[in-house]
Amino acid sequence: MTLPAKIFGELKQRIFYFYHQISKSEDMKTIKTLSLLVGGIFFSSVVSAQSVTGLKWNTSVQSQVQLVKLNPTNGDVLSPVKSIQLQSGTNYIPGTMHHDGSNDLLFFMTGAQNNFQGFVTSKLVLTRASSGEVLRTMDVTGSMAPFIISERNELGFIGTERESHGYGNNDDVISLKVFDLNKGKARVSVKLPNLSFASVNAPFVGDAPQMNGTKSAGKHLALSSTCYISDSKEIVFSATDVMGVQRLFRIDVESGELINALSLDVEVLDMAFDAESKKLHALYIIKEVSGKTYLEVGTLNINSRMITDATRIREIATSEYPVMDGTIKVGESSVYVSKQNMSGKQEIYTVDHADHSLIQSVAQPTSIEKVDFEFPYMPTDAGSTNLSNLISVYPNPTTDQVTLASNARALVTNVVIRNNLGQTVQVIDINSGLTENTLNISYLAPGMYTLEISTDKSTPVVEKLVVH
């Protein structure tokens, strides 16, 4: 059982205090005994982290990932769950996994490189987190830095589009889009005119790909993964603008407005919001006056842009550019960083919540074996229980049939059809386990009806239906 962060921090401080005191003693037997005790308590606290849901893949095996339970401190697989076969020619895009713990759902992205245009053709894959059953796939072309807002059942990403100005002079227009997964259409689209670069998978730090019309082509570019801050309902990410300035972008997902784009002194790879401590943890690359570049973790204040509690992970060599990986995960008592090391092996670094010290780093056995994991997101927003956001009824108005569409968070079990007098016309048992169910209603006379839709959740959904 993992100790809570505050208790673990206090325990460590007391242990280190006693260790410091006994180190002054000349009684070597006492020193060795207490040192073993200290080391045992500390090590057991580190390695006893709860298992998390993760994905494991081998870069030499195409179009396949393994759904597993693993130890977040070292990436060791504790138990396999299921092999997930991906569409031929596609591979898992690292860092895109999202675990919706309250609804047993796992979202992740797959992609295939289009060498002619340089864009990545991406797909969103939705599976059961407990079984690996694939529930839905969705095409998301030209997407970068995807994110999931599970309590709203929305998918978002930074996207790039080619905008022609004639005479072959095309520019890449960057925007942030948020899609309603139930309705299959964009709810928010925010253009970012001071950004222009070819499509890359976030995170990316290096020279921008050479593309016709791209203002940033050949220039140094840094694009972070996106982060959803549940408390303030905003998306944050970092990117290099057309003037070469690194900026932290904040976008209100309710209104679709750009809050601000403040300059940064570091190049961010990834961010993770801790809802308990209300802190935004950032994994970033910082270049010192000496010319050396380092990978660090710190707490980022999105208002002041100040970084506090910085922990240095390791030096980043020139040969490692472009940097195209690096994720940060927030656990109960630790922050976990995943980054490929100099030998090409994926390394998992554990940073303590309490004193921000680097506890340990463990590399995967080979350079072709990779793991990714995410601590389950448990929405606290009251809107997460509003099932009317999860059920779509179409076409409406209709004549002879109607489709009830949901996502896997609310599978339809039965429907009660009532006329405009409130009288029950028909009760239809469904329980198909499918996310889309089409009903034959050709027998209904023209008029207004209500559908009381029961799901495997507790609260029924009532929708109006017009029959012509």
pLDDT at position 215: 53
Q: Which residue has the tokens 């992970």?
A: 313
| Cα distance between residue 385 and residue 102, in whole Å | 10
Q: How many CA atoms lie within 13 A of 240 on its CB side?
A: 25
pLDDT tens, 410-435?
678 889 999 988 889 999 999 787 87
**Domain ranges, ordered by start, for the chain:** 5-46, 49-382, 386-467
Question: Looking at the predicted structure, is the pLDDT value of residue 389 above 50?
Answer: yes
pLDDT band at 397 (very low <50, low <70, confident <90, very high): very high
pLDDT band at 163 (very low <50, low <70, confident <90, very high): low
CATH of domain 386-467: 2.60.40.1930
pTM (predicted TM-score)? 0.73
pLDDT at position 408: 57
Question: Looking at the predicted structure, is the pLDDT value of residue 447 above 90?
Answer: yes
Lowest pLDDT segment from 102-106, 334-338, 399-403 = 102-106
pLDDT tens, 304-358?
889 999 999 999 999 999 999 999 999 988 999 999 999 999 999 999 988 899 9
User: Partners of 351 in the beta sheet?
Assistant: 335, 358
Judge contact between 52 and 332, C-beta under 8 A. Answer: no
By percentage, how much of the chain surpasses pLDDT 90?
A: 48
pLDDT at position 165: 52
pLDDT average, residue stretch 230-250: 93
pLDDT at position 48: 43
Same fold, 49-382 and 386-467: no
CATH of domain 49-382: 2.120.10.30
